[in-house]
Every structure is written in C-alpha cells, then in structure tokens.
Amino acid sequence: MLDFIGQALIYVVPFLLVLTLVVTIHELGHFWVARAFGVKVDRFSIGFGKGVLSRTDKHGIEWRLGWIPLGGYVKFSGDIDASSVPDARGLDAMRDEITATRGAGAEKDYFHFKPVWQRALIVAAGPFANFVLAITIFAFLFSLIGVEVRPPRIAGGRRRARPRRRASRPAT
C-alpha cells in the first residue's frame, strides 16, 4: 500500500505542478491583455473550489489559490454567472446599473461593453500565452541540451588513401 502511495506521489505531484504552471500562464495571458484594454478584474484564481489562500491588492483584484488545482479563471467585473454571456436584456440592465452607481461612461471598464476586437484579443490571449510558454521551454531546453547533429557520410566504408605519385624529374 505504501509503495502505491509513493508511486502515485511521484506522478501526481509533478503533474499538478506542471498543470498549475500552464494554467497560471494561460490565465495571466487573459489578465494582462484585459488590463491593457482597461477592463476591471474582480478575481484571478488558480484552482477551483474553496479558496486556500486569498489576497486583495490595491486595485481591488482578489488573487486566489483554490483548493482543487485543476484549472483557473479570471473573473471580470460584471460577470454574473459561469457562462459570462448575458443576454440583451441583461446587458441593458447591467449598463443601467453601472451608470446609476458609477456614472455615465463607467461601462467602458467592463468586458461586455468593449469592442468585439478587444474582446477577441482578450479571449485569444490565454492560448497565445501557452504557445509562448511552449516556445520558451523548448528554446531553453535546446539551448542547454542541444540537438545531436551527425555530419553526413558519403560512403559506407573507410576511405583508402591513394599512393602518392612521385613527380618525375626531367632527364639531364
């Protein structure tokens, strides 16, 4: 039984560490592009379920580490449910509520009211960050380990040395 637990730890712990790294980079891609476009973020979470660690920074963003380390998410302001896709009536109600509480023009800070091209870039930033991570890891590994390159050989056998010819001297 202890052998099984030891073997499971050898495989499960590194898997969870690598998955956590990949998820963190993925979610940071969404986060950085959203912040670059001025979208308000409520929560950045790695893992699901009840929060194990949580801290709120000066921008009001809750940085959270969840109990189940199998994913993560960035919760933008105005996300009401898990699908993050309100209907037209919900968008109108959200816009009215934001305008009433924060003033006119405040809806520009919310993901759902950004132009389509900005929303598309925010959504695509997560997978793009994973590509950058993969390229970085492979470049790092190849710079340390390298790739074995064998020079090409024309013939399969050993090359024989030709006997040297003596230069003939003219007769005197």
Whether the full predicted model's pTM is greater than 0.85, yes or no, is: no
Predicted local confidence at residue 106, as pLDDT: 74
15-19, 140-144, 161-165: least confidently modelled range: 161-165
Give whole-number Cα distances, 32 to 77, 97, 106, 108, in Å. 15, 26, 20, 17
pLDDT digits (tens, 9 = 90+) for 39-55: 999 999 999 989 899 99
Per the annotation, the verdict on 107 as an active-site residue is no
Could you tell me if 75 and 39 are in contact, meaning their C-beta atoms sit under 8 angstroms apart?
Answer: no
Please identify which of the residues 27, 62, 97, 107 carries the catalytic annotation. Answer: 27
Q: How far apart are CA 60 and CA 50, in angstroms?
A: 19
